[in-house]
Structure 1
Amino acid sequence: MSYFVPIFLFLGIIVLISAVFIVKQQTAAIIERFGKFTSVRNSGIQLKIPLIDKVAGRVNLRIQQLDVIVETKTKDDVFVRLKISVQFQVVKSNVYDAFYKLEDPQNQITSYVFDVVRSEVPKMKLDDVFERKDDIAIAVKSELNQSMTDYGYDIIKTLVTDIDPDQQVKIAMNRINASEREKVAAEYEAEAERIKIVAKARAEAESKRLQGQGIADQRREIARGLEESVEVLNNVGINSQEASALIVVTQHYDTLQSIGEETNSNLILLPNSPQAGSDMLNNMIASFVASNQIGEEMKKRNEQLGLKTPKKKDKPKPESGYDDDFDDDLSSL
């Protein structure tokens, strides 16, 4: 008999160990007795009848997530892939239903997601799918709650985490977007160019206005100078016609002098009519005659004042720039 004592002790320890089991946090254990449901055990140290009761399974009470990828067609015949994330949880009071009524709850949820998405998305265009993805998620959650509650599952949240159209559609959408942005950029560039043109036109108008004002002032001063010159010439016995001819020739030679000062100038002056050369010669002769008259008048005035007339060799040139001998020759004409 002494030999059986250790054996009985060993068997007792094995039976005691098999009667004790541990259930983890957020987990429920299903106990069956001869294949029949007996109870649900929660987290902690639990006891069961050895060789009679057994742990048939364990149910996870934490929130789980299932990602479902659904490919379907939109209203405008564009194929698109949607990724639906479903967060669900076993109701603690319905562990029996969750364990015994559904063999594979994830496949069941997947089937419902496919059914809802493929009934909602074909009603929308591609742009609406992106804009109304929350409506799709709400529809999926509503359908799943109605179906999965009877099996002991609670749908916490559904999310449309990705919308992926066909690759060619994405390329076309990017091209459309790029074209729209180029159009906007072109409009802004055109507006900027218009502003530049308007500003430049205003600046040119202001410049021309000031330039015209300056020319008007210049011509006014020239007119005053001509008036004074004619008046001086009239005082010495030169009529207005001869004075005008003298002034014209003087301006003509001043112009030629200013043109001659330009070293890189290629300008050639030609008469613009057959009578131009004759008119120019007549004007020159008239100016020379007027110059001679001015010289004679100055001589007479000097003699009246008692001034000595310089000799021929010492006689300075008159201010008009012409020699008296040359004037004498012209007067003989």
Structure 2
Amino acid sequence: MALNIDAWTCCCLSSIPTGSIGVVQTFGEYQGWQEPGCSCICFPCTTVLPVSLAVNQLTCKSECKTKDNVTVVVVTAVQYRILKDMVKVATFDIASPLDQIRAEVDNVLRSTFPSMTLDESYEAKEKMVAETLESVRQAMGQYGYEILNVLITDTRPEKSVLDAMNEINASRRREAAVEKGEANKLLKIKASEADAEAKRLAGVGMANMRAAMAQGFQDSMKFMKESGMNEKEAMHMMIMTQYLDTLRDFAGSHGSIVVPSCDGPFKTSKNPISSQKPKPQTPHPPKKKKKKKKKSSVPAGASSDSANCGISDPAAGSIGVVQKFGAYQGWQEPGCSCICFPCTTVLPVSLAVNQLTCKSDCKTKDNVTVVTVTAVQYRILKDMVKVATFDIASPHDQIRAEVDNVLRSTIPSMTLDESYEAKEKMVAEILESVRKAMGQYGYEILNVLITDIRPEKSVLDAMNEINASRRRREAAFEKGEADKLLKIKASEADAEAKRLAGVGMANMRAAMAQGFQDSMKFMKESGMNEKEAMHMMIMTQYLDTLKEFASTHGSIVVPHGPSAVRDLRSQMPEPAGPSGAVPQRASSPKLCWTEDSAQ
């Protein structure tokens, strides 16, 4: 029966963008494809479906388990495009191409990773890429999909394992620890050498100062005697002069000295430390998040039953099962045909490749509960469409039952690790069993892929924790070795520093002794006896000690005043006599040091 439609009344324009082609269908029947650009079509009898020929990239994430029981997430990028010459197959003969690509990638990766440790998986990246590329090309090439490249962009272990690995790498820096220890040792040795030399030079300087002061005492005694003073008065004059010089040094410093003989109460300078309390920060009120109004999503297109009575048009990739008063009459190809409705009905049946995902809970030989995810790829045979449509009520449930039957018979005889290794064996058994069961009902089973074997979460966490603990133990060992090296180097540096400090102190004492000897010599030459020279040296050191306080920011309380300077000589301890006997000590002056609050 011919159907004539006026082309002028139904003429429309079809525009196809660059990088795509238009799949032309007339009443759902494939007619060919058109190049990019503008063309006239007879709508709605003829439709044009744009199909992109550009290179696309599909990102797949696969969770896998390695041989050393580490859970890793492998990110794979698959680059593909549709071949122009096979656009009909790519458009109508496969229902979910992206899901099938993901299943192929999961199948290869989850078959390869269980045979390698985590470290080996990083090294075998090129091998896994080649295997994945070959498998996906073989599976998708027959459907008009050209697989250009496969890239494994990331292999990321579980976070606890990753943290342990980073800790190991941080702890393995023994070389850095050795270099750091050597550098610290050299710095400490050089500082000790400088300190020892400084002490020696301080002793030499002190000796030279004492010798110069003794020479000055000699000259002062000479001039005072020439002016009419006796020896005792000249010595008191020199001591008083030194005492007043000491007070003058305090006057020019930031410290304070309290002399009990002064009038008025003791005055101490206190500079309270100003403390600024930080202003309490007023918390800002939390910003209210604006609730986004949910937009009601309306599907772009909705299918509706044909309102044209007596016309049947099965889509491309399908056939129409014809029934007359419910009795099977045959099937018709895609396209437009006339039927006597409602006596005759046409039921569209897709012949495209579909994928059914099955999840099976199983128990292994070592009592681990696992969830096995299986992808079954199938299609209906055109010659057996009557059996596939009317002789089986729930084909999907029957396929799932066959998959569960095989898996729950096979996995309980294997341990968890053996089940990962026996993946190919289980795939072959499932494929044979499902083909045998569904082939008689017109279902062609093309492929079976075990895409995941996932243990129960607590078991998975325990596996990751075991691996992380092992790696933490290795990290602790490496860290301990590094700390040991640092401690050894520090001890060596400390021992050398102490030795050099002793050498410096010995040199300083020797220089000071030499200075004392020279001072005694000059004082004897000025007319003092041994006892008077010793008293003079001790008194000079006492006043030098008071001068040291003047260079600091502290305070000192002296239990004597200027009038008691004359008694200081009598308060000094008596030197040893010629026989070596030490006489009884007089009460020595007391110094009280307080830290200035202004420091």
SS at match of 2:68: coil
For 2:186, the equivalent position in structure 1 comes to 195
Please tell me whether the aligned partners of residues 86 and 159 of structure 1 are also in contact (alpha carbons under 8 angstroms).
yes
Give the Cα separation in 2 of the matches to 1:272 and 1:92.
121
Bigger helix share: 1
| Code of the aligned partner of 1:167 | K
Is residue 532 of structure 2 the alignment partner of residue 253 of structure 1? yes
Check 1:267–1:73 CA distance in 2 against 1; reply closer, same or farther (3 A cut): farther
> What pairs up with 1:210-225 in 2 under 5 angstroms?
none
Please tell me whether the aligned partners of residues 85 and 161 of structure 1 are also in contact (alpha carbons under 8 angstroms).
yes
Is residue 428 of structure 2 the alignment partner of residue 149 of structure 1? no
For 2:157, the equivalent position in structure 1 comes to 165
Give the Cα separation in 1 of the matches to 2:200 and 2:159.
62
| Residue in structure 1 matching 2:83, options 56, 74, 91 | 91
Q: Give the deviation of 1:23 after TM superposition.
A: 3.4
Please tell me whether the aligned partners of residues 76 and 126 of structure 1 are also in contact (alpha carbons under 8 angstroms).
yes
For 2:17, the equivalent position in structure 1 comes to 24
Give the Cα separation in 2 of the matches to 1:50 and 1:164.
52
Give the Cα separation in 1 of the matches to 2:7 and 2:86.
36
Max radius of gyration: which structure?
1
Give the Cα separation in 1 of the matches to 2:27 and 2:7.
22
Give the Cα separation in 2 of the matches to 1:78 and 1:31.
51
Give the Cα separation in 1 of the matches to 2:530 and 2:70.
85
Q: Give the deviation of 1:11 after TM superposition.
A: 4.6
Q: Give the deviation of 1:72 after TM superposition.
A: 0.6
Is residue 35 of structure 2 the alignment partner of residue 42 of structure 1? yes
> What pairs up with 1:35-114 in 2 under 5 angstroms?
37-46=30-39, 54-55=46-47, 57-114=49-106
Give the Cα separation in 2 of the matches to 1:139 and 1:81.
18
SS at match of 2:73: strand
Which structure ranks higher in relative contact order (CA pairs < 8 Å, sequence separation ≥ 6)? Answer: 2
Give the Cα separation in 1 of the matches to 2:150 and 2:539.
93
Q: TM-score, normalised by structure 2?
A: 0.34
For 1:14, the equivalent position in structure 2 comes to 9
For 2:430, the equivalent position in structure 1 comes to none
For 1:140, the equivalent position in structure 2 comes to 132
> What pairs up with 1:173-188 in 2 under 5 angstroms?
173-177=165-169, 179-180=171-172, 187=178
Q: Give the deviation of 1:43 after TM superposition.
A: 2.0
Give the Cα separation in 2 of the matches to 1:187 and 1:255.
54
Gaps of 5+ in 2: 205-506, 547-570, 584-599
Per-residue CA distance 1:137-192 (angstroms, 9 max, x = gap): 444334323332232212233333344322322343344455457x7775555333
Check 1:270–1:94 CA distance in 2 against 1; reply closer, same or farther (3 A cut): same
For 2:423, the equivalent position in structure 1 comes to none
Please tell me whether the aligned partners of residues 134 and 159 of structure 1 are also in contact (alpha carbons under 8 angstroms).
no
Please tell me whether the aligned partners of residues 29 and 55 of structure 1 are also in contact (alpha carbons under 8 angstroms).
no
Seq. identity, %? 26
Give the Cα separation in 1 of the matches to 2:532 and 2:116.
89
Q: Matched residue pairs, number? A: 245
> What pairs up with 1:257-268 in 2 under 5 angstroms?
257-261=536-540, 262-263=542-543, 268=573
Give the Cα separation in 2 of the matches to 1:48 and 1:22.
10
Per-residue CA distance 1:191-222 (angstroms, 9 max, x = gap): 33201222134335656787659968x969x7
Per-residue CA distance 1:98-152 (angstroms, 9 max, x = gap): 2344222111111111112223333443345456656544443343233322322
Check 1:88–1:169 CA distance in 2 against 1; reply closer, same or farther (3 A cut): same
Give the Cα separation in 1 of the matches to 2:186 and 2:9.
96
Check 1:161–1:270 CA distance in 2 against 1; reply closer, same or farther (3 A cut): same
